[in-house]
Amino acid sequence: MANKLSQYYAPTLKEAPKDADILSAKLMLRAGLIRKTASGIYEWLPLGMRVFRKVENIVREELDKIGAQEIILPAVQPKELWEQTGRWEEYGKELLRFEDRKKAGFCFSPTAEEVITNCIKRDVKSYKQLPVVLYQFCIKFRDEIRPRFGVMRSREFYMKDAYSFCETEKSAEEWYKKFFEAYNSIFTRCGLKFKAVEAESGNIGGSFSHEFMVVAKTGENAIEECVECGYLASDEKAGKKCPKCGGKYKSTRGIEVGHTFKLGTKYSESMNAKFLDKDQKPHPFIMGCYGIGITRVVAAAIEQNNDENGIIWTKELSPFDIHLITISEDEKVLAQANLLIKEAEAKGLTVLWDDRDKQAGMKFKEADLLGLYNRIVISPKTLKEDSLEYKARDSKDATMWKLSNVKTKLNDLT
Amino acid sequence: MANKLSQYYAPTLKEAPKDADILSAKLMLRAGLIRKTASGIYEWLPLGMRVFRKVENIVREELDKIGAQEIILPAVQPKELWEQTGRWEEYGKELLRFEDRKKAGFCFSPTAEEVITNCIKRDVKSYKQLPVVLYQFCIKFRDEIRPRFGVMRSREFYMKDAYSFCETEKSAEEWYKKFFEAYNSIFTRCGLKFKAVEAESGNIGGSFSHEFMVVAKTGENAIEECVECGYLASDEKAGKKCPKCGGKYKSTRGIEVGHTFKLGTKYSESMNAKFLDKDQKPHPFIMGCYGIGITRVVAAAIEQNNDENGIIWTKELSPFDIHLITISEDEKVLAQANLLIKEAEAKGLTVLWDDRDKQAGMKFKEADLLGLYNRIVISPKTLKEDSLEYKARDSKDATMWKLSNVKTKLNDLT
C-alpha cells in the first residue's frame, strides 16, 4: 500500500523560517521533516521520522551483532545518584533540574553514566558475570544557553548511549574496539562519508576517546589529518598532541555524530561500584561509554548531501525508496502507477506517490526538495513511448525505462 | 547467534523486594525484567525490553495498516500551549512542571493534545488536506501522588498516543472505528484475553470513549457486562447508563491498557485550530485520540498469565521463542545444542541458552520464572534416547522429540 502524498502529512514550505540558521535546518523545515515547538525543541513529522527509524534500526542491528543488549533507563533521574559522582554540581546549567510534587530533586537525563553504574553495582557481584554491555535509545535533554542549528544543537534530542563494564583492561579494550568497528559499520551502512578522529574526553571524563565525524563543508568541528602518516585528531586534540611521525596537519570540516570513551574507573570508583575477582578481592568495574546522536545523524546526512534544489538522501536513509510522480489523472497513467507500486512493493521497495492534482513543474520541484533516492515519472507522454521516466536524485540525467523492462530495472534499486 | 544466559544481563531474585505490591511487579523484578530507580521510575532490563519492543512493533504494524503515520512530539512542552486549553491550571499536581534556565515554564508531557493540535493548526489549512492521522511512541510522565503496582501505575511510562483530525463527523467516526478495530487486532496479536468497554472520558474530555481491558482477577477496574445483551461498560459508566435492554450486569476484573476517545472539537475550539471548507468557511477540526500504555501491556500480560512458579508468556510476547537448557558440559550435549540453535534460527526462532554451570533443578526453576513460551532440555540422559525434551510453559507435560524429527517439530513452533 503506497503512501499517497495527497494523504501524507509532509507540509512543505517555500521559504525556511527566518530563525533557521544552518542549511540542514532550513531543508528539514522546508521539506516538512521537522517543526519547532519551542527554542531547541522539535517535532519530528512522518518523513523525518522514517529517516530517524532507519538510523535507529541500523544502529540496533550493528550493536546486537557485537552482543550488546538493549535496555531503557529513565529520563527522569534522581539527584542522589548525580551527587555521588559530583556531577550534580559540576554539570552547570545545561543539566535541567527540577523537583517532583514531594520536593525531591531530579534532572532530565543528558547522559546516563550514574544510573547505569548504579544498576551494575546493584546487580553484578562477580567477575563471572562480566562483561556486561548495554545500550539504549532514549530521549535526552541538555539545556543549551543558545540552542541553534536545528536538531543539530537542540535541547531535546535522541541519543543511543551504550556502556561496557569489564573485569580487565584487556577486555575493556576489546569492547572499545568492537564498538569502534560497529560504529564504522553503522556510518558506512548509512551511506555517509566520515572519519574517526582521536579526541578529548570533555565532561564525560576518561582516558581516551574518539569522535566520529561526518565530513561536511559546513561542519562546526575541524578534522586534523596528518599529511605524512594519516593520523586523525580533533582540533583540540591536535593542538595538544602531534602525530608520532612529526608531520603537518591539513584541516577539513566535520560534524560530530558519535563519540566513544574509554572511561576506566572514574564512575565506578566514585560510586563505589565493585565486583569480586576469583580470589574474592573487590575491584571497580572498568567502563567504556559510546554515544551516537540519532537525531544529529539525520541532520549531518543532509549537510553532507544536498544541492541548490534540496536534500539528496543516501540510498540507505531515503525515507521511501521511490518518489513516484504521476502527471494527469488519465486512467492509463493511474493503472500503470498502481502496477508499478505493486511490483516495487513485491520487491520490498517503499513508494511515496505524488498523486496530487498539481502542476508537473511544482511536483518535480518538491521531489527535488524531499530528495528521495529514486524518482519515477509516469505521464501520457512517457506512456506514448511505452515507457516511464527514471532519475536518481544524485544524477543529472533521467533515462527512459521500457514498461516491459520495469521488473528487471526495479531489481537494480533493491 | 543464540544469547547465552551466562552472558545475558537478566539478574533474577529469589524474593521480590518488600515494596513490590502486585504480582506482575513481583514477577518482573524477580525475573530481571525491570528494576526500580526511584519511586515510580523504572529501568527496563534486556528481557523486559524485548517484550516492550514486541508490543511496540505489533502496535506500529497495525497502525501503519490503517494508514496512521508515525511522528515524535517533544516530551518537554511549553506552558503557553497548555494554558491555551486551560489544562495548565486544571491538570493538578500530576503535571510535572518546571522552568528552564531562562525561567520559561514547561511541563513533562503526560499526553499531547495541545502540542499536536498546535501542529495541525499551523500546517493544515484546507479540508483537502484532511484527514490527518498521526501516532507516536514517546516517554510520558505523570507525577502520581502514590506510585504503585510497579510499571502499571508508574510515574514515567511509555505510551503510544494517536490523534485524528477530520473534516466531518462521519469521517471522525470512521477513524474511531478504524482505531477500535486496530486495537482489537493489536491485543489479539499479543495473545491476550481482553474486552472493550464503554467508558467515561475523564480529564481528556470528549463525548464518547472506550477502554480496552485485559481480563485479570487482579485488575483494578471492574468490567460490567450485561447478562442479557452482552453490552460492556466500565463500572463508572455502568453506574450512569443502563444497557438499553434493561438487563443486569455481572462484574469481572480488568486492567486498562488502551483508551479511545471521540474528542470532538474540545481542543480545536479552545486553541482556535480551524480549516477552511470548500466554500472557504472556517470550521474547527473534529478530533479523536487513542492511547495504548506500552509498558502497561507488558505488566497486564503477566497479571493474566502466570502460575505459582512464574510468568507464562504468550507465544507472541515471549522475549525469546525457546529457552534452551543444557545439562552437563558433555561434548555431545554442546554439539547438539549448537545444532538445535542453528536449526531454530534458520526458521526465524530466537533462543535463550542457559549454558551456565548450575544445577539442573535451579535451571528449571529459573526457566519457569522467566516463562518463555517453549522450553527444550538437552542432557546426556535425553541423548541416550536419541532425543531432547520439549515442554510448553503453559503445559504440565514434557514430551520427548527424536533428534531425527527435530526440524519438523521446530516448524510447529514458528
The DSSP code sequence of A240-309 is: H---TT---EEEEEEEEEEEEEEEETHHHHHTT-EEE-TTS-EEEPEEEEEEEEHHHHHHHHHHHSEETT
CB–CB of A156 and B74 under 8 A?
A: yes
Report if residue A312 sits inside a domain. Answer: no
Q: Say whether both B181 and B228 belong to one domain.
A: yes
Chain-chain contact of A74 with B119 (C-beta, under 8 angstroms): no
Q: What pLDDT sits at residue B200?
A: 80
Mean pLDDT of chain A: 95
Query: CA B284: distance to chain centroid?
Result: 32
Residue B313, domain member (yes or no): no
Both B46 and B129 in one domain: the answer is yes
What tens digit of pLDDT does each residue of A379-402 get? 999 999 999 999 999 999 999 999
Which of B1, B5, B45 to mutate to probe the A interface, most A CBs <10 Å?
B45
Residue A353 lies in a domain: yes
Element (H, E) at A401: strand A399-402
Could you tell me the three cell numbers for A378?
A: 509516469
Nearest to A41 among B3, B50, B74 (CB): B74
Residue B355 to residue B359: CA distance in whole angstroms: 11
Q: Per-residue pLDDT for A205 more than 70?
A: no
Q: Return the sign of the alpha-carbon dihedral for residues A400, A406, A411, A413.
A: positive
What is residue A206's predicted lDDT score, i.e. its pLDDT?
A: 67
Phi and psi of B323, rounded to 5°?
Answer: -100, 105
- C-beta of residue B159 within 8 angstroms of C-beta of residue B291: yes
Contacts of A332 (CB under 8 A, 6+ apart): A380, A383
B chain contacts of residue A99, beta-carbon cutoff 8 Å:
98
- Does residue A356 share a domain with residue A283? no
A150 and A36 assigned to the same domain: yes
Asked whether residue A400 is domain-assigned, the answer is yes
Q: How many whole angstroms separate alpha carbon B109 and alpha carbon A41?
A: 13
- 8 A C-beta contact, residue A262 and residue A286: no
Contacts of A50 in chain B (CB under 8 A): 70
CB contact under 8 A, B76 and A156: yes
* Contact call for A155 and B69, based on CB within 8 A: no
Q: Is the pTM value of this prediction over 0.95? A: yes
Whether residues B295 and B326 share a domain: the answer is no
Under 8 Å between Cβ of A299 and A191: no
Question: What is the biggest distance separating any 2 CA atoms in chain A, rounded to whole angstroms?
Answer: 82
A7: nearest CA partner in chain B = B129
Who contacts A243 (Cβ-Cβ below 8 Å, separation ≥6)?
A: A226, A228, A229, A231, A233, A249
Helical axes A46-65 vs A169-189, angle rounded to 10°: 140
Mean pLDDT (whole number) for A94-99: 97
CATH number at residue B44: 3.30.930.10
Contact A139 B134 (CB under 8 A): no
Tell me, yes or no, whether A260 and A164 share the same domain: yes
Residue A207, C-alpha cell as written in the block: 582516558
Specify whether the CB–CB gap between B106 and B83 falls below 8 A: no
Domain membership of residue A314 (yes or no) is no
Based on the fold, state whether residues B339 and B378 are members of the same structural domain: yes
- Edge to edge, what strands does the sheet with B399-402 contain? B3-4, B351-354, B322-326, B374-378, B387-392, B399-402
Of residues A3, A76, A132, nearest to B9 (C-beta): A132
CB A44 within 8 A of CB A50: no
Compute, in degrees rounded to 10, the torsion defined by CA atoms A204, A133, B160, B74: 10
DSSP string of B1-55? -PEEGGGS-----SS--TT--SHHHHHHHHTTSEEEEETTEEEEPHHHHHHHHHH
Question: B20-36 burial, b if ≥16 CB within 10 A, otherwise e?
Answer: bebbbbbbbbbbbbbbb
* pLDDT (average), residues A147-154: 94
B96 vs A11, A100, A119: nearest CB: A100
A163 domain residue, yes or no: yes
Domain count within chain A: 2
pLDDT for B308: 96
**Same domain, yes or no: A100 and A23:** yes
Q: What is the mean pLDDT of residues A169-181?
A: 96
Contact status, residue A302 vs residue A29, Cβ threshold 8 Å: no
**Mean pLDDT computed over every residue of chain B:** 95
Task: Judge whether B73 and B112 are in contact, CB under 8 Å.
Answer: yes
| A279 contacts A127 by C-beta, under 8 angstroms | no
Whether residues B303 and B338 fall in one domain: no
pLDDT of A368 over the 90 cut: yes
**Which residue numbers in chain B have pLDDT < 50?**
none
Give the span between the Cα atoms of A78 and A75, in whole angstroms.
Answer: 10
Measure the CA–CA gap between B248 and B239, rounded to whole angstroms: 12
In a domain, B4, yes or no: no
How far apart are the CA of B232 and the nearest CA of chain A, in angstroms? 35
Q: How far is CA B249 from CA B29, B31, B196, B227, B261, in A?
A: 37, 38, 15, 6, 24
Q: Does residue A332 sit in the same domain as residue A260?
A: no
Which of helix, strand or coil describes residue A371?
coil
Nine-digit cell string for B47: 528481557
User: B244, B276, B307 — which closes off a domain?
Assistant: B307
Question: What residues of B are in contact with residue A46 (Cβ under 8 Å)?
Answer: 69-71, 134
Residues from chain A contacting residue B53 (CB–CB below 8 Å): 70
Q: Which three cell numbers stand for residue A343?
A: 511490483
Distance, CA of A336 to CA of A369 (rounded, Å): 25
Of the partner residues B53, B75, B156, the one whose CB lies closest to the CB of residue A74: B156
Residue A203's pLDDT is what?
A: 64
3-state secondary structure of A169: helix
- Whose CA is closest to B286, among B164, B120, B136? B164
Residue of B nearest to A4 (CA): B67
Backbone angles phi and psi of B173, in degrees to 5: -70, -35
* Secondary structure of residue B369 in the 3-state scheme: helix
Question: HSE on the CB side for B89, CA within 13 Å?
Answer: 4
Question: Binning pLDDT at 50, 70 and 90, where does residue A204 land?
Answer: low
Contact A72 B155 (CB under 8 A): no
User: Which CATH number belongs to the domain containing residue A342 in this structure?
Assistant: 3.40.50.800
Helices (H), A106-259: 113-123, 169-189, 235-240
B221-226 and B76-78: which strand pairing? unpaired
Cβ atoms of residues A72 and B44 within 8 Å: yes
- Which one, of A321, A409, A303, lies nearest residue A373 by Cα? A321
- Beta-carbon separation of B37 and A138 below 8 A: no
With beta carbons under 8 A apart, name residues in chain B contacting A119.
Answer: 35, 43, 45
| Residue B403 to residue B414: CA distance in whole angstroms | 18
- Type of residue found at B281: K
Q: Which residue type sits at A236?
A: E
Q: Is residue A101 located within the same domain as residue A247?
A: yes
ipTM for the complex shown = 0.96
Taking CB atoms and an 8 Å cutoff, what residues of chain A touch B75? 75, 139, 141, 156
Task: Give the dihedral of Cα atoms A294, A298, A300, A301; nearest 10 deg.
Answer: 130
CB contact under 8 A, A45 and B78: no
Looking at the complex, report in whole angstroms how far the Cα of residue A104 sits from the nearest Cα belonging to chain B.
10
Residues 6+ apart with CB under 8 A from B358: none
Q: What are the phi and psi torsion angles at B135 (to 5°)?
A: -145, 160
Q: Are A286 and A127 in contact (CB under 8 A)?
A: no
Contact check, Cβ <8 Å, A72/B93: no
| Cβ-contact B93, B125 below 8 angstroms | no
B128 chain-A contacts, CB cut-off 8 A: 6
- Domain limits for position A343: 320-413
Residues A274 and A398 in one domain: no
Minimal C-alpha gap between B123 and chain A (Å): 6
Side-chain-facing half-sphere of A129: CA atoms under 13 Å? 17
Query: Can you tell me the distance from the alpha carbon of B403 to that of B384, in angstroms, rounded to the nearest whole number?
Result: 11
pLDDT score, position B237: 87
State how beta strands A105-108 and A76-78 pair: antiparallel
| CA atoms of A8 and B407, how far apart (whole Å) | 45
Asked if B123 lies within 8 A of A35 by C-beta distance, the reply is: yes
Residue of A29, A39, A45, A120 to mutate for B, most B C-beta atoms under 10 A: A45
Is A313 inside any structural domain? no
Chain B residues close to A95, C-beta within 8 Å: none
CB of A71 closer than 8 Å to CB of A136: yes
In total, the C-beta contacts within 8 angstroms joining chain A to chain B are 152
Q: Single out the residue of A223, A220, A219, A222 nearest to residue A195, CA to CA.
A: A223
d(CA B80, CA B95): 14
- Within 8 A of A134 by CB-CB distance, chain B residues are 9, 46
Q: Are B141 and B96 in contact (CB under 8 A)?
A: yes
Residue that terminates a domain, selected from B307, B339, B367: B307
Residues of A in contact with B158 (CB under 8 A): 72
User: How close A237 comes to chain B (CA, Å)?
Assistant: 31
Question: Regarding beta strands B76-78 and B3-4, do their DSSP bridges make them parallel or antiparallel, or are they unpaired?
Answer: unpaired
Distance, in angstroms, between A69 CA and closest chain B CA? 6
Assign A166 a pLDDT band (cuts: 50, 70, 90). Answer: very high
Strand B156-166 with B286-293, pairing:
antiparallel
Give the separation between CA B340 and CA B407, rounded to whole angstroms. 9
Of A285, A307, A329, the one marking the end of a domain is A307
Rounded CA separation A142/A153 (Å): 9
